[in-house]
Amino acid sequence: MTVSVDDKAIRLTGPCGVEEVEVLVDYMDRHPDLHIDLSAATTIHTALWQALMVFRPRIAETSVSTLISDKVLASVKVSL
């Protein structure tokens, strides 16, 4: 599983595929106070980006840097 939760963050690690979106949504719904850690994610499916855009969680750690991820992260951070 590439999406996990602990007492500090919801973490995305490795290649995060579409099959992880339900888990991510569930974690964000049940833990709205936790930030998202993307630092260990190598790829993130667009379905997960869409969930992040809907929930607009606090993104605390990122290492993903592509043109599309920069635009999506900017969109998520606009509401903060």
4-19 mean pLDDT: 95
pTM, two decimal places: 0.79
User: What is the three-class DSSP state of 53?
Assistant: helix
- The percent of residues in the chain predicted with pLDDT above 90, rounded, is 60
Q: Which pLDDT score, from 0 to 100, does residue 63 have?
A: 67
* CA terminus-to-terminus distance, the chain: 29
What is the residue extent of each domain of the chain? 3-77
Sheet holding 35-44, edge to edge: 3-5, 9-16, 35-44, 59-61
Q: Which pLDDT score, from 0 to 100, does residue 54 have?
A: 93
What lies within 8 Å, CB to CB, of 40 at 6+ separation is 11, 12, 13, 14, 63
